[in-house]
Each structure stands twice: as C-alpha cells, then as structure tokens.
Amino acid sequence: MEKPLLPRESGRFIAERSRDVFVEDEGVQKVAEMLYGLRHSDELTASGWKKANPLAPAPTSDQGSALNWVFVVDTMNFSFWPEEETQQCEVTYKGTTYTGYMTLCAAITRAMEEGVPITDPKYFSQMSVEELGRVLRSDNETLMPMLRERHQVLTEGGRVLLEHGGSFRSFISQAGNDAQKMVELIVEKIPSYRDEATYEGKRISFYKRAQILVADYWGIMAARGQGDIINMDWLTMFADYRVPQALVYSGALRYSDTLMQALKNGELLSSGDRREVEIRGCSIWCVELIKDRLHKLVQERDGQPCSVNSVIIDFYLWPYAKQHHKEMAHIPIHHTRCIYY
C-alpha cells in the first residue's frame, strides 16, 4: 500500500483541492501580525505549554514519571466534546473543576495522588475497563466519552512500551533526538496513532496525537533544559476541532455556507468524511502559511530570523480558543467521534 503523504504535504494537497474550506490570505496576514506583536513574550515559547496546562508535570518532578504521564494523557487525548453542551463531563481536582481535555489531565493526576500506578506501563498495559473507569470518573452523571476505546488504546500503548524498555523515555530514545523520526516511530509501532485518511484518491495523514506526543515530550525536556530536539520545524499544527474554530474566528479560514449550516445544524461528520478531512487539512496548511508570514515579518522588520514553529503557534491558538470560547460561540466546532482527536 502506498505510503500516505506526510501531514504538511497532506495539508497543502487538501487546501489546493478543497471544496468547502478555504484559506484566506487576509486572515493569514492578520494572525501573523498578531503573533508578531507577541514575538518577545513567553506565550510564543515552548515554556508557554506549561502555562497553558497547569496540570502538566512540574519541571522539578521525576523525569521518567513525567514522560509516562505525557504518554498516558496523549494516548487518550481524543473526543471530549459533550453530546449536549449542558451535560459536560467534569473532574474537580484541588478545588478547580475542569472540563474537556483538562478532565483527562485532572483525572490522571488525581489517580496518582490516590496511589494508583497509572503512569506505570506494567499497570496500565493490563488494567481493566472498570479500573480505568474509576480513574476517569466524573463528578456528575456525564461520563467521559469512549471509555472502551480509551481502555483499548491505553493497554495497547502500554504493551508496546513494555516491549521497548518499559518506559516512554526508553521507547522514544530509539528515534534519537529527531522529531520526525519520533513521529514515524510512534506511528509505526502504535496502531492507535495512525491518523490517516483518503482524499481525492490520495492517502493522506494528520498524525495529530503522534505529533502532540512529540511536542509534549519536547515541552517536558525543554523545561528541564534538555530540549535540544532537532527537526521540530517538521511538525505541523495538531489538526483537531478547537484550533480550526479559532482560525475561522480570526478570518484565516473560511467555511462554505453549506458546511457552516451543516455544522450549525449539529451534523455529525464521520472520520474520513470529505468535509472533515478538508477542515483538518486546511487548518494545517493555514498555520504553515501563518508561520511563513510571521518569519517574513520578523526578517523584514527586525532583520533577524524567527524561531517560532507551527507547534508553538498551536500551543498559543488552542488555549486562545478555549479562553475566548464565548466570543467564538457563533462559529460551530465540527463533531467527529474517533480516537484520533
């Protein structure tokens, strides 16, 4: 079977053929200008990641455990949107109630405090669905979606780690310190990370969770002064349902009227649906263009190169969308139930 196009090439291929999602040059320029204004701030650095996620392991925590935490969270990092906005899964940890992706982070951190060895592959590779259900328990009747799928991918991932030294660190070190090789290793060895589809007869890929896992690994290592990973520029943004909303809100992406109406009507898009693939692919290409434009602005105005990559732009846009969700409420997110995002 032919190898799929890599995420960046997939984004470009899709954007050049897309029928319902369009990259808007004016909006790309606008977002690049906004990021240019933030170029000296912490928000556009790898350390901004820790700020965006207060539940991520502290730089002072045990490195092996912190990396396993990231593996557990990223392996189950998909499909948090509720069936009904009023029925959110909620997890309260240390007095703060979390929703969405943060419920997962809170639940895993809570389990560790309760003495559950949830970051030990020996444990999570063979835990039962019931045990995971207890770890991921909600404060209310609304459970975290897709418990059986989360259990399947977590135990599968744990077994792979046990075959490769018994920790995420030992597993990922086989790729050296090269971000591209890391993504390729993850996708090759762990089936649940193979985020691929077919578009206009071509095999394409997004590798959202594989790329996020490498980026989070980088975030953990950078916080410890060991973030000298090469090829980070190879990674793209992480094609999910929150960042496209921010891109549409800022005018960098545009949906056709029919797509916008379908999403407003609450139509569920299946994984691999042409429109779903266009939203994700055009988001990737849009962020690539924003990054290129930002680099150009910094070079022209400051006379120096710019080190902001697509990952850092994603690390900024995702919490930005979360913080401004009320202003963005008129722009629907697309809903797809799958294990890829």
Q: Residues with catalytic annotation?
A: 240
CB 15 within 8 A of CB 239: no
Report how far Cα 300 is from the mean position of its chain's Cα atoms. 31
Q: Which of 311, 130, 142 is nearest to 215 (CA)?
A: 311
Contact 107, 260 (CB under 8 A): no
| Residue among 149, 283, 151 nearest 211 (CA) | 283
Pair of tokens at residue 327: 């202003």
Q: Which amino acid is at 105?
A: C
**Helices marked H in 38-139 — which ranges?**
48-52, 63-75, 101-113, 121-124, 129-135
**Cα gap 173→161, rounded to integer Å:** 12
For residue 263, the 8-state DSSP code is H
Measured distance CA(87)–CA(103) in Å, rounded:
14
Confirm if 170 and 184 have CB atoms less than 8 A apart: no
Give the helix ranges, DSSP H, for the chain: 7-15, 25-37, 48-52, 63-75, 101-113, 121-124, 129-135, 147-163, 168-172, 179-189, 208-223, 243-249, 257-264, 274-302, 310-323
Query: What are the angstrom distances between the C-alpha of 279 and each of 2, 130, 238, 292, 336?
Result: 23, 35, 12, 20, 11
